[in-house]
Structure 1
Amino acid sequence: ASDDESEDHSGLITFELVRRAVADSESSSEGIGAIYNIGKTLGKGNFATVKRAQHKETGAEVAIKIIDRRSCTNINFVEREITSLGQINHPNCVALLEVCESPSKIYMVTELVMGGTVMDRIIAMDHFSEKESATAMVDVLYAVQYLHDIGVVHRDLKMENLMYASNDPSSPAYNTIKLVDFGFSISHAGGSLKTACGTPATAAPEVLDPYLEFSGGYGPEVDLIRQ
């Protein structure tokens, strides 16, 4: 994979979402390595690692979230994330391209988003002007409105989960924000949600209510509380 992180590779991504089985060995002829050239690590968590990769057939630059089934404490959250992302097709939400599954790992292949988080850019610029803040909010609200229209609640909106599509100032995607990390998202067809989740510092108070199971619960409006 190329190390030029300033390029906008989104135009190369043309294949549709599929789920396929792969072998446990990444280097085998039936492993994930037969489909993608796996590159450097972009991030790492308790049970998942995100790596940059290149699709061997199309040349598309992608990101692959590699989830270790043995370390993952709640595989249901992973399945919810896949279900939510599988419904989404919007320029302000990260695109899930395919899911590959082996006996020990789940590989979530998404578009490559290299512009850094909104927080990163605010720090780099020292502050946002009123116009820059308004421009950013338009993208965020477009994403949230779309999610709610298709029945998805994100439940973890924060600046760290809002990423710019490109870090190249000459790219048309430089100021395009994409909502990422759908690990707490859920399909919502109506009624109340009663699962406590999200990030304590940014979540709506009702999502973290210790008496949530006895209260009236909450709905999609929790995605707007910190906007």
Structure 2
Amino acid sequence: MSSSSCSPGVVSEDICLTQPQALDQLVKLLPRGRAWRTDEDAPVRRGFLNALAASWAYIEERLCALRLEFFCQSETETNDVWLRQYGLPDACDPYPDLCGKVAAFGGTQCDYFQAIAARAGWSIACLETGCGAIAGRALAGCAQAGRGRRMGELHVLVNLADSPAYTGGYRTPPLAGRLLAGQPLACPPDLSALECLLERIVHAHVLIVYSTTTVPASSMDFRSGDNSSLLAAIAA
């Protein structure tokens, strides 16, 4: 049966010779004639060929085992090589499973970033922007003193209330004129886990700007094309 067939009954055509099979192949390679007999009348020659067959069978066994190392589902002996090539283990990697990372296609769109963040327990909305003015931020270009030209920005709005991965809590900063004696100043939320995650999948030349909100999850869907609500939340 051809190995290229898609039939469920397909079997591999790869053959890994055992020692008796290797011996049989060696015997068949000998010249014809009484001088090359290897039966019971010539035990020394047969013993020599059997020793060669043992080495041949070992090589066959290792070659067949090597074939399995080319696929993450069956690799065992080269696991350290696979992990090193794919940068695992990595606490920040969006694909901590080796085979999951091998099969991953990646992406550069907000939908992809949202999906990866959601898998890690973060509810986000994002907006990709290039150079130029941004509503509510008065950004008139991409030039920055001491830095090269920035190709673009990715504004990420994190819904803390709907992010199971966020365990640091949140506290609204005191408003001007409403700060009371003994009231603690709010610290910015710790988004280091999310930042580490997105740094693995967002292009290095893109500046990621984070904002947070506690609005209901239903208000986090900005895929309709109307970015006004997202821009307003970022500018707040």
For the superposition of Structure 1 and Structure 2, which TM-score range results when normalised by the shorter chain? under 0.3
Higher strand share: 1
Higher helix share: 2
**TM-score (normalised: structure 1):** 0.21
